[in-house]
Amino acid sequence: MSDDIRIQEKISGGPTATAASDGDAHHVDVAAQYANHFTNGGETYSRTEEWRLRWKLDLRLVPLLWFNVTLGAMDKVTTSTAALYNFRQDTGLDGDKYSWVGSAFYFGYLIWCLPSGSMLQRFPLAKLLCAVQLVWGCVLVATGFANNFASLIALRVLLGALEAPIVPGNFLVLGMWYTRAEQPLRTGLMYTGLSVCFTGPIGWGIGFLRDDHQWRAMFWITGAITIVWAVVVGIFLPDNPVTAKFVQPREKAVAIERLRADQTGIENKTFNKKQMFEAFTDPKTWLMCLFHLTISIPNGGLTNFAPPRLGYTSQRSTLLMMPTGVVQTAASYLCNGGVFLCVKYLPTYQTRAAWALLGILGGLASTVLLRTLAVDDYSGRLAALYMAYFYYGPYVVSLGLNMANTAGHTKKVTTNALVFVAYCVSNIVAPQFFVASQAPVYPLGIAAILGSYVLSAVFIVLYAAYCVYENRRRDRVDGAATGERIHRETDFRDLTDKENVHFRYVW
C-alpha cells in the first residue's frame, strides 16, 4: 500500500475510495477521461495556451452567468417597482399582505432548494437552466394578469421555486471551469447589482402608460425578456467541459488539468448518499448557513421596502434606486477583486474572511445612519440607503468561499442547497420586521439589519477559525503534500473535501 493511500485512510477513517472507483465507474468524475492526457508521457501545455483558453472561457461563460444572476435579481423585485404604480391598491394588498407577497417568493425557493440540487446533479446543467427560465418567464407574464392576494401568492411561490436552481447552477459551472484562485474575480463579475440598469429604465418608462396598465407592464416586459434569455442559455451555455462544443479536445484536457491541484473535481451524475450525509454533518456547512441566515436580512428588507420609503414621486423613485445597484456592484468588485489580488500577489495569506468583514463594516455604518438621520433629511437618508447595499460584497465572497471549500459533486449540490435554504429563511423573515404601521422609518426593520450584521461578522470569523484548525490538523497528517503535487489516488475520484487528505481549505 502506498504512503499516500495510508495517509488517506488516516483522515477518512477507513479505506480510500480509490479501490471502489477503479471497479465502479459511477464513482469517477466525468473529467477522468481527460485526466491523464498530460500526466502520461510528459506532455504539457504552455502558459500562453492556458491564457488563451482562459480568455475564451471568460468571453463565453462570464456574460452568460452574469445575466443569469442579473435576470433573477431583476425579476424577483418586480413587485417593489410595481408597488410604486398602484400595485397594492389594485390587488387588495392592504395591511401586511404586501410583506407576505415579498416573502412568498422565498417560500417557493425554500421548498425547492433541495429538490433543485438533486435535479442539477441528475440532468444536463445548461438544458435544465434553459427549461427553468422558460417557465419562469411565463410565470412572470401571468403575474401581470393577477388581481388578488391569493393568485399573487401562488405565482410568487412558483417563481421562487423556479429560481432555486439558477444561482447554485451558476456556481457549479464556475467550479467546472475555473481554479479556486480564479473563481473570486469571476464570482465578482458574475454577481453585480446592475439589475437596476434594467428595472430603473423600465420602471420609469411604464410611468407613461395608462394607469391601469403601468404595474402590469412591469411583469409583462420582464417576463418577455426572461423567455428570450432562456433560448440564449439553451444555445450557448455548455453542460460541462467534457461535452462543450466551443472548446477543442486538447483545450478540454487543458481546462481539466488546470483544476487538478484544487482537488475539487468537475462533475458526477450519480447521487452519493454518503456525500449528502457528510454535508449535513460538516460544521462548515452550518457555519456558512448561519452566516447566510444573517447576512441576507438586509436583502430581504431593502429589496421590498426601499423604493416606497424615499419620499419622491413614483417615476423619480425608480430612477433614484439605480445607484443602489452601482453600490452593490462596487461592493462585489471591491471585496471579490480584493480577494483575487491577494490570492495572486500574496498567496501565503488568507484574506477572504477579512474582505467579508470589511464589507460588513460598510453596511453596518450606513445602517446606523439610516436609524439616526431625521425623517425629512431626504438627501442624507438617500445616501445612507445607497451605502446600506454594501452587504452584497460579503454575501458574494461567502458564496465563492463555500464553493471553493467543498469537494465531491453530491456534497457540492447539497451544501449549496442548504446555504440557499438559509438564504430563503432569512428573506422570508426579513420583510416581517418592516411593519406597515412603522413606515417610513421602520425602526424594527433597521434594528434587525443592525443585529444581522453583528452576527454575520461572528459567524464568518468562526468559519475561518474552523478552516485554520482543520488545515493544521491535515498538515500534521499529510506533511509532505503540496498544492502542485499530483495525487493519482485522489485526482478526479469524486472524493469529498473531508475524505481527501490533500485538500486544503481557503478562508
Over the chain (507 residues), the average pLDDT of each successive run of 10 is: 43 40 50 60 78 94 95 86 87 84 87 89 92 96 93 94 92 90 89 86 86 88 96 94 88 84 67 90 96 90 59 70 86 92 89 94 90 83 85 92 88 91 88 77 87 96 96 80 49 76 88
Q: Which three cell numbers stand for residue 108?
A: 417557493
Burial of residue 63 (number of CB atoms within 10 Å: 0-12, 13-18, 19+) = middle
Dihedral Cα 412, 418, 420, 423, nearest 10 deg: -140
Coil, strand or helix at 159: helix
Q: Which three cell numbers stand for residue 461?
A: 470569523
CA angle, residues 267, 272, 276, in degrees to nearest 5: 100
pTM of this prediction exceeds 0.85: no
| pLDDT of 291 | 97
**Per-residue DSSP letter, 178:** S
Burial of residue 503 (number of CB atoms within 10 Å: 0-12, 13-18, 19+) = buried
Domains of the chain with CATH codes? 40-239+271-477 (1.20.1250.20)
| pLDDT of 344 | 87
Candidates 275, 346, 294, 310; CA nearest to 457 is: 294
**Per-residue DSSP letter, 432:** G
| pLDDT of 491 | 53
Burial of residue 50 (number of CB atoms within 10 Å: 0-12, 13-18, 19+) = middle
